[in-house]
Amino acid sequence: MKIVHFQRKRRPNANHSLEFIFEDVRNRLAGDCDISMREAPCCSDGFWPRLSILRDARKVTDAVVHVTGDINFAILGVPRKRAVLTILDCGFLNRRSSLRRWLLRKLWLDWPARWAQAVTTISSAARDEIISLSGCDPAKVIVIPVAISTDFQFAPKKFNYARPRILLIGTAHNKNILRTIEAVAGINCSVVIIGAISKKVRCALAEHEIRFENHVDISPAEVREQYRLADIVCFASLYEGFGMPILEAQATGRPVITSQAASMPEVAGNGACLVNPRDVHSIHEGIVRVIEDDTFRESLIEKGLQNTKRFDPTSIAMQYLELYRTVTQTSKHGGANA
């Protein structure tokens, strides 16, 4: 059984979490199948580079081809019976003009999802969204979640009642930073933000007289250290296809506050304090409860640690292996038309 992961070309100084996810899968499956990676010849910028990517995908003729995300349109160059596609979520459709949204929907969602023999995604919420928006066959869209890296290990910490350290991961629009800052107002704490912050965010921090730290472009090891230093991780996003910081915080042994929206309750299990991300009062009350209620806080930590066991890397790699076996058997016996 031969498998090729066809992935986007890495950009300098960009987030490479997608590449790390599938590198781990390849490492864990190396003894079970012939699995390799093929990188796209160029970055996905404009018509001609994307045409080049599509043509390059057509060159793989003797394997199940798994387009691992971001360059979803590339699956259209793969024979249907050997085509596996990962669509992480549909967040790329948000905040686009009508024409750009239409093009993205056709080339990154509708046509690729319908063409692929199998589509994987990372949460049930994302699966429902893909099926609803693309109209593809629900039977071929399966959930294989993201594994929690073994680099994140439990690190006990005495809670800082005098000035708890609240960690915020990410600063994109969906991370809901401005509402979270407003929710923290009046709480004696230190806020730690990982990610570049705008002038508007800095003004909000100054207006509410919030003590804060900001860390930008730090290494994975430095990110893990910030989890260890934190007393609380607040991840009250408006939208997430998955929400990896929830698991990273739980694995480290930190109480998590997250949103009762999209995929986040599914990922968090019963190991997080769920809040309404559009309601500043709800976020505020969640933070106050975690600070003041020792029993509740300790239960979140314990339940969070148990929850991370659902995202064991070896178990998730085996789910991909089973999928590849199914697609291989289907292609051998005809299946969908090539």
Element (H, E) at 83: strand 83-86
Q: Is it the case that residue 338 has pLDDT exceeding 60?
A: no
Give mean pLDDT, residues 222-226. Answer: 96
Confidence of residue 284 (pLDDT cuts 50, 70, 90): very high
Among 100, 37, 30, CA closest to 69: 37
pLDDT score for 18? 82
- 243 φψ region: left (φ > 0), alpha (ψ -120 to 50), beta (else): left
- How many beta carbons lie within 10 A of that of residue 174, not counting itself? 16
| CA-wise closest residue to 91 among 198, 234, 243 | 243
The pLDDT score that the predictor gives to residue 336 is 47
What is the pTM for the complete model shown? 0.86
Q: How far is CA 321 from CA 25, 65, 108, 154, 280, in A?
A: 9, 13, 25, 29, 43
Q: What is the CA radius of gyration of the chain?
A: 21
So what's the pLDDT on residue 334? 60
Contact criterion met (CB below 8 Å) for 223 and 194 = yes
